[in-house]
Structure 1
Amino acid sequence: MKRVAHYFLLISLFVGCSGAKRSIQKSTQKVFKSAFYDNQFTGFLVVNQQNRDTLLNFNGEKYFTPASNTKIFTLFTVLKLLPDSIPALKYIERKDTLYVEGTGDPTLLHSYFEHNNTLDFLKGYDNISVHLNNFQDEKFGPGWAWEDYQYYFQPEKGPLPLYGNVTTLWSLSPLQVTPSYFQDSVVQMNFSRNRELQKNTFYYGPSRKDTLEVPFKTDSALTKKLLGRVLGKDVKIAMKMPEGEKRIKYSVPVDSVYKRMMIESDNFLAEQLLLLCSSTLSDTLSSSRVREYMLEKELADLKQQPRWVDGSGLSRYNLFTPESMVHVLSKMYRDIPRNRLLSFFPAGGVAGTLEDWYPGDPEPYLFAKTGSVGNNHNISGYLITKSGETLIFSFMNNHFMRPSSEIKIQMQRIFEEIRDNY
């Protein structure tokens, strides 16, 4: 009798799930056929992680501009290639000189990462020579908007970034500037730009009260000066590293960097993390080499190979399918402990880019990465239903002319129906 009862329980659960699935599919298809979606391109794929059942698939195999959903691929890459702590420097000691080579570590003197021990290590040497010629990327990624050079979200990339490669200005008496090296480079006047295009002249209006972060223009000479000032000693530039085996100095735990990249959607960290991964493959810093490696080795099973050109998603050249996003999210879900994995993603109604959207009932049910660039908004991640199922999804909206808030309202309605009924 127990076997019979168990059998009928399974049958009833199956029928219930099938009925809920059909109901959700029917209502969602009706929404996508409405006039709201007439003049945009939409893709939506939802998969049950436990039984690999596809709940919804609408243009899942089509290519979309992903914006910051690209960071999901970057997260997958760093989880595969980086150790538990950030490799801060490669170095060799020769006689009385420490030769240092940058790895792309974004945390040195970064305002968010306060417990960096790299400076203490460098202060232990009187003679330091820095090698920066291992950087083989461009300072800006392909397809980045050139006019965004002055905005906080598009700092230059580099082998040994300092202060996050941004100048921070805030209004006190007198005006506060970090790094202080640029104190005399700030013009206190209202101007249409935050910085000159080709030089480090910054503008901060006299009536401003906010904190302004402006990327500075980088080069080897500036790196030498900034690092020398903070160390209190002259730093030399080395044209090449001495022969011999390089040792590695580690800095902060990687999870603290990953969380900020994903939750705050930090473009600079995403780009530098790919360079860091490159430093684990060779001494050359090349993000394209890392992307090629991942697509050939770890992601050769993707059904639709993406066009993947940067780590952050700033470029409109990137092209990914919802199916590829779900594929990578599924790989991470299988490989990474659940609590750790979900901690990397903004939680709906709680933190980061999802703080004002998708609130829980009462606990968060959505853990996902957004991606927004003009007329495009996407979100991909994990949805926890009220029945306890974990669904993996990618919802991509491209080329709409409505306010993005209207797109999010429609998405929230669909997510809540799935949460409540599946």
Structure 2
Amino acid sequence: MIRFLFAFILALVLTGCAGGSRIVKKNTESILGSSFYQNQFTGFVLFDPGSGDTLVSYNGQKYFTPASNTKIFTLYAALHMLPDSIPALKYVFENDTLFIEGTGNPTLLHPYFEDKGLMRFLKSQAHIALFLDNLEDEKYGPGWSWGDYQYYYQAERSSLPLYGNVLTLRNDQGLQASPIYFKDSVVMVRTSKNREIERNIFYFDPSRQDTLEIPYRGSKELTRHLLERELGKELRLVDKMPIGEKKVFYGIASDTVYKRMMHQSDNFLAEQLLILASSTLSDTLSSERAREHVLGTLLPGLRQEPRWVDGSGLSRYNLFTPESMVHVLHRMYLEVPRAQLFGYFPIGGESGTLKNWYPGDPEPYIYAKTGSLGNNHCLSGYLITKSGKTLIFSFMNNHFRHPSSEVKKRMQSILEKVRDTY
């Protein structure tokens, strides 16, 4: 009798799951087949990691421009290749001089991070020599928009970035500039341009009340000058590191960088994290080497190998499938503790880039990463149903002409139906 009752209950559960799956598939395909989607490219994959079933796959194997969904792959790379603390720099002592080379560490003097331990270490040294020729990457990634050089989201990449490679300006009883080194290079005038394209001449509207962040044009000499000013001592540039075993100085907790990258969709942090990951493979920094390691060694099971060209998703050359996004999200779901993993992602209705979308009823139900470029919007992550199941999804929209708010409304409608019916 007990066996019969157990079998009956199990049959009811399985029947309910199958029914929920059919409803989800029917509702989703009905919406995606509407006239709204006729003149755009849409892909949607919904996966149940509990049962191992793919509930919906609508163009799941086709390639899309992912925009900042690329950061999901960057997060996966960082979680596997970096230690719990950021490798802040590499160094060798020779006689009374500290020779240092960058690792791509994005946190040194960054306005949102405090690494006082690293600054104390550098200030305690009598003589410091900088080696700044160990990065193979160009300052800008392939396919980045040349006209975006003046906006905070397209800061240059470098081996030893300072201040997030941006100048921060605000009007607080007079012009406030960080780093102050650039204050005399700021022209107080109302103009559509933030900076000269080839020079560190900046423009700031004196009536502006909010903070303005402008990428500065970097060089080895500029890095030396900025660091000299902060350390209060002269530094010298060298063209090679001395022979000897290099040591690593570890900085702040890596998690704090990952969370800001994902919640704020910070392109600079994403780019530098890939460079930083490459520092664990070689002294020569190369984000390409890091990407090749991830795809060739860490993710050999991808059914559709992506075209992955940068860490942030700024490039329209990137191509990923919804299925590959779900694959990596599933890998992280299996490998990272749930609370830690969900903490990396913006929460629907509460935080980051999802603060104004996908509100919970009453609890949050979406933990996901957005990705937006002109005429493209994607969302990939985790969905909690009202029945308590965790689902993994990737929803990619490319080349639409509708307002992005209309696209998001329909995405939200689909995901709410999944939440309520499965």
Distance 2:54 2:335 in 1: 21
1:164 lines up with 2:160 in the alignment: no
Deviation at 1:173, TM superposition (A): 2.3
Work out whether residues 377 and 398 of structure 1, in 8 Å CA contact, stay in contact via their aligned partners in 2: yes
- The alignment partner of 1:177 has SS state of strand
Work out whether residues 93 and 99 of structure 1, in 8 Å CA contact, stay in contact via their aligned partners in 2: yes
- The alignment partner of 2:99 has SS state of strand
Distance 2:16 2:209 in 1: 57
Partner in structure 2 of residue 264 of structure 1: 264
Distance 2:116 2:306 in 1: 36
Deviation at 1:397, TM superposition (A): 0.4
Amino acid at match of 1:295: L
Q: How does 1:95-174 map to 2 (within 5 A)?
A: 95-174=95-174
Distance 1:326 1:10 in 2: 28
Deviation at 1:56, TM superposition (A): 0.5
- The alignment partner of 1:117 has SS state of helix
Deviations 1:274-296, CA, capped at 9 Å, x for gaps:
01011000001100111111111
Partner in structure 2 of residue 212 of structure 1: 212
Distance 2:116 2:76 in 1: 24
Deviations 1:67-101, CA, capped at 9 Å, x for gaps:
00000000000001000000001000111100001
- The alignment partner of 2:29 has SS state of helix
Deviation at 1:115, TM superposition (A): 3.9
Partner in structure 1 of residue 313 of structure 2: 313
- The alignment partner of 2:261 has SS state of helix
Q: How does 1:191-340 map to 2 (within 5 A)?
A: 191-340=191-340
Work out whether residues 196 and 202 of structure 1, in 8 Å CA contact, stay in contact via their aligned partners in 2: yes
Work out whether residues 366 and 381 of structure 2, in 8 Å CA contact, stay in contact via their aligned partners in 1: yes
Work out whether residues 107 and 115 of structure 2, in 8 Å CA contact, stay in contact via their aligned partners in 1: no
Would the alpha carbon gap of residues 310 and 294 (structure 1) be closer, same or farther in structure 2, given more than 3 Å must change? same
Q: How many residues of Structure 1 are paired with residues of Structure 2 in the alignment?
A: 422
Distance 1:116 1:354 in 2: 32
So what's the TM-score if we normalise by structure 2?
Answer: 0.99
- The alignment partner of 1:138 has SS state of coil
Partner in structure 1 of residue 415 of structure 2: 415
Q: Which runs of 4+ in 1 moved over 3 A?
A: none
Work out whether residues 91 and 248 of structure 1, in 8 Å CA contact, stay in contact via their aligned partners in 2: yes
Distance 2:173 2:358 in 1: 41
Distance 1:114 1:99 in 2: 23
- The alignment partner of 1:251 has SS state of strand
Distance 2:155 2:76 in 1: 23
Deviations 1:366-416, CA, capped at 9 Å, x for gaps:
000000000000000000111111101000000000010001100111101
Deviations 1:119-149, CA, capped at 9 Å, x for gaps:
1100010100010110110000000000100
Work out whether residues 152 and 215 of structure 1, in 8 Å CA contact, stay in contact via their aligned partners in 2: yes
Distance 2:206 2:125 in 1: 42
Amino acid at match of 2:185: S
Deviation at 1:223, TM superposition (A): 0.2
Distance 1:23 1:301 in 2: 30
Work out whether residues 108 and 116 of structure 1, in 8 Å CA contact, stay in contact via their aligned partners in 2: no
Distance 1:29 1:125 in 2: 64
Distance 1:100 1:29 in 2: 56
Partner in structure 2 of residue 350 of structure 1: 350
Q: How does 1:23-34 map to 2 (within 5 A)?
A: 23-34=23-34
- The alignment partner of 1:290 has SS state of helix
Distance 2:173 2:382 in 1: 47
Partner in structure 1 of residue 85 of structure 2: 85
Partner in structure 2 of residue 367 of structure 1: 367
State the percentage of identical aligned residues: 60
Work out whether residues 187 and 204 of structure 2, in 8 Å CA contact, stay in contact via their aligned partners in 1: yes
Distance 1:225 1:152 in 2: 22
Work out whether residues 108 and 115 of structure 2, in 8 Å CA contact, stay in contact via their aligned partners in 1: no
- The alignment partner of 1:43 has SS state of strand
Work out whether residues 116 and 252 of structure 1, in 8 Å CA contact, stay in contact via their aligned partners in 2: no
Distance 2:271 2:116 in 1: 20
Distance 1:151 1:385 in 2: 39
Please list every run of 5 or more consecutive structure 1 residues that lacks an aligned counterpart in the other structure.
none
Deviation at 1:19, TM superposition (A): 1.0
